[in-house]
Amino acid sequence: MLTQTTTRVLEPADLGAALAVLESAPVENAFVAARVQAAGLDPWRLGGEMWGWYTDGRLRSLCYSGANLVPICATPDAVRAFADRARRTGRRCSSIVGPSEPTSLLWSLLEPSWGPARDVRAHQPLMITEAPSATVLPDPLVRRIRKDEMEVIMPACVAMFTEEVGVSPMAGDGGLLYQARVAELVGTGRSFARIEDGKVVFKAEIGAATRQACQIQGVWVAPEYRGRGLSETGMAAVLNFALADIAPVVSLYVNDYNTPARAAYRRVGFREVGAFMSVLF
């Protein structure tokens, strides 16, 4: 008996089935799951379309198509179907990101029509922990950023993004979308920093959060303060906030060539459980 497959844009009525797929891998899918839990599947509220791949009438795989293209629990056959749809619609995203295996296949299928990429980060270890650090004392000066401190935190956020991604988040729309995102994280109590004499010397955010897992992002130490262990003590502090207030599992992913950061996260207590891949345009 032949298996029947189909791919289509999901609708609000498909929310329950989509959440079931997302929650089957809560750490890997935290970024998209958090968006879907907050916004549902309406493209206007979600900021993009959610594509679904069905086998014999059952939803098996997803692909978020918005500012990022993200394969979710995607089998090789699903990836091929998503690549076909992506080629037909044309590139609208600024990156492709997701678990390394399906993302690598997706990029290999899209590269002939979408390439070249500005940067390909083929192996970004995914790290998690479920417990406070047993070896690193948290920095007592790391705290939540207040809403009236946007002017203090923004320069550090811009510096981190530019250093990490290679382009300024202030380009294009003058930084309006990026400032709104930073304001959202500050407003929801998910932006943390150590501030000395009015300047951020360490910062990190919890960029995605669900009931099952959350994801730390934007870890940054001011250049003149690097090499002093602030990333370790700062991360230990953010980890404590995350476990106490947000989710039972805390994750992050990091570029494989950033050996100092990987070592610092391991000392805090994170362990590698998989890998992501990012294609930047």
Predicted pLDDT of residue 2: 56
Mean pLDDT of 152-176: 91
CA distance 5 to 241: 44
Rounded CA separation 73/102 (Å):
8
The encoded tokens of residue 24 equal 């089957």
pLDDT at 174 > cutoff 90: no
Give the pLDDT confidence score for residue 182 in this predicted structure.
96
For tokens 């790391």, the residue is 142
Q: What is the pLDDT of residue 48?
A: 96
Amino acid at 105: L
Task: Tell the residue number behind the tokens 């991604």, with chain if given.
Answer: 165
Question: What is the predicted pLDDT for the residue at 183?
Answer: 96
Could you report the per-residue pLDDT of 240-280, keeping only the tens digit for each?
999 999 999 999 999 999 999 999 999 999 999 999 999 99
pLDDT of the residue at 171: 82
Strand order in the sheet with 191-196: 5-9, 49-55, 58-65, 68-72, 95-99, 271-280, 119-129, 250-253, 214-221, 199-209, 191-196, 143-144
pLDDT at position 3 is 66
The per-residue pLDDT of the chain, averaged, comes to 96
What is the mean pLDDT of the segment spanning 117-125?
Answer: 97
The answer to whether 127 and 252 have CB atoms below 8 angstroms apart is yes
* Amino acid found at 209: A
Are 227 and 196 contacting, i.e. CB atoms less than 8 angstroms apart? no
pLDDT of residue 5: 84
Find the range with the poorest average confidence among 63-77, 171-185, 187-201, 238-252.
171-185
Radius of gyration of the chain from Cα atoms? 19
Q: Which two tokens stand for residue 176?
A: 């309006």
Q: What is the pTM of this model?
A: 0.92
* Residue 173 pLDDT class (50, 70, 90 cuts): confident
Nearest CA-CA partner of 218 in 246, 178, 245 = 178
Q: Which two tokens stand for residue 18?
A: 């989509």
Contact 198, 234 (CB under 8 A): no
3-class SS at 18? helix
**Of how many residues is the chain composed?**
281
